[in-house]
Structure 1
Amino acid sequence: MPEKKLNQKRKEFNKEKMVGIWSLVSLEVTDENGQKTYPMGEDATGFIMYHPEGYMSAQIMQSGRPQYASGEVLCGTQEEMAAASNGYLAYAGPYQVDEINKMVTHHMAVSLYPNWLGDTQPRYLDIKGDTLEITSQPVFFNGKEHNTKLIWKRVS
């Protein structure tokens, strides 16, 4: 790619544009038939943070998760703890940005999901003003292709 075009692409998108704190607007999964689902509910809430030194953290949860009946932070029943975990997604670690292809790769150093530890997940990016859209590469489960899209609004 000629240097002038390469520099223009870098001006359109760069790592500095995504650094900051973003609040979740929506998380939706669309299958190959166009059917949308909201795995954390249509009113899910959360934050994703990108630090300028290359670390990130994502926290997403279902709204209205019930409190433990005991009122204690660490004393839920097995069922209460399973429900709380099922309604929450959290991971953090280093990230890398491919400015030319508008992609970010999250490296899961810590995660609520043990299967994600050490995993890397590439995501497509689109930033327009104070809105960040992150989409996954297609994932196959239950015999269908699924695409995940998260929309975030800048907090700072």
Structure 2
Amino acid sequence: MLCLIFLCACIIGQTSYATQPVAANDSPHFIGTWELVSVEAHWPDGHVTSPWGAHPPGRLIYTKEGRMLVLCMHELRNEATRKVIPPALQNEAAGYFGTYKIDATRHIVSHTVTATLRSAESSTIDRSYEFKDGRLYLIAKATRNGLPVTYVLVWQRA
């Protein structure tokens, strides 16, 4: 919980330096607070898994000034439920904040990370995006266990 409070304080506190407003045709669609609906992993053989469970908690915030913050985790990792967290899930959370830019032509949103909970989420992270049925789909290509995998994170307005 302290990490979430710290992350929120940091994104709000980033007003000490000037940031450029996000400039792209799709930017008004991003701005606001989003709730995580699902995380799916699409594998080369066609099967789809939900690596963070059926209802992973998460929030994603985009501001009109070009700042962003995300925190999401495995559904069993949520300490707000007051359940004992299995050791294997202790690291099944992602959180970072920074700035973002949108390339509406290529449908790419780039998150430039200022601070993160995991080193894998550093520097600039590019995600393909699409808006469908009022939801935001962020798509990431990765490698897991030596295999290519496509992660699809589905967000709805909070």
In the superposition, the TM-score normalised over structure 1's length comes to 0.74
Distance 1:104 1:92 in 2: 14
**Inter-CA distance 26–66: structure 2 relative to 1 (3 Å threshold):** closer
Gaps of 5+ in 1: 1-9, 72-79
RMSD: 2.4
Larger-gyration structure (1/2)? 1
Secondary structure of 1:29's aligned partner = strand
Amino acid at match of 1:150: L
**Inter-CA distance 140–53: structure 2 relative to 1 (3 Å threshold):** same
Instruction: Give the structure 1 partner of residue 111 of structure 2.
Output: 106
2:91 to 86, 89, 99: 86
% identical aligned pairs: 27
Residue 141 of structure 1 deviates from its aligned partner by: 3.1
Say whether the 8 Å CA contact 2:74–2:89 is kept in structure 1.
no
Amino acid at match of 1:96: K
Q: Are residue 50 (structure 1) and residue 62 (structure 2) matched?
A: yes
Number of residues of Structure 1 aligned to a counterpart in Structure 2: 132
Distance 1:89 1:140 in 2: 17
Instruction: Give the structure 2 partner of residue 34 of structure 1.
Output: 46
Moved over 4 A (4+): 80-84
**Inter-CA distance 106–83: structure 2 relative to 1 (3 Å threshold):** same
In the superposition, the TM-score normalised over structure 2's length comes to 0.73
Secondary structure of 1:107's aligned partner = strand
Distance 1:125 1:139 in 2: 15
Amino acid at match of 1:88: A
Gaps of 5+ in 2: 1-23
